[in-house]
Amino acid sequence: MKDTLRPGIRATHTFTVPSSKTVPALYPEAPEFVAMPEVFATGFLVGFLEWACIKAINPYLDWPQEMTLGTHIDVSHEAATPPGREVTATVELVEVAGRRLVFEVEAHDGVAVISRGRHERHIIQRDKFLARLLGPR
């Protein structure tokens, strides 16, 4: 990581919700999910918030050799967003503790705040991580 990776880094990321990111699409093999309304799924919302954090800090890493993995998420999902609506995430890096990074996150769909909370990521060396993952257990 570069010495410029410090708290205060802010970024926004925008995405238009497609039908493929709605609740029925989250687990199409589960009839319980398929029966639910076609709105932005919480699982995909979490991924969208992670994506915004990754985009915010990648310029401060030796990417792609160095990258981050999500290790904790504590966010609300406060409003339903239909497909076709644009969502915007605003993220801020609020803590750097060694390889642990903590973000404040918020998402808005142009009508209401749909999510807010905190997200934690850890910096990894991709090759070392994969070697440990694929190595003997």
Q: Tell me which of 12, 38, 42, 92 is the catalytic residue.
A: 42
Q: Tell me which of 13, 68, 77, 108 is the catalytic residue.
A: 77
Distance CA(92)–CA(12), nearest Å, equals 9
* Whether 32 is catalytic: no
* Whether 50 is catalytic: yes
C-alpha distances in Å from residue 89, one per residue of 66, 78, 124, 137: 23, 14, 24, 39
* Whether 78 is catalytic: no
Strands (E), 17-85: 66-75
Q: Tell me which of 22, 50, 106, 120 is the catalytic residue.
A: 50
Angle at 69 between CA 59 and CA 47, to 5 degrees: 90
Which residues belong to the active site? 42, 50, 77
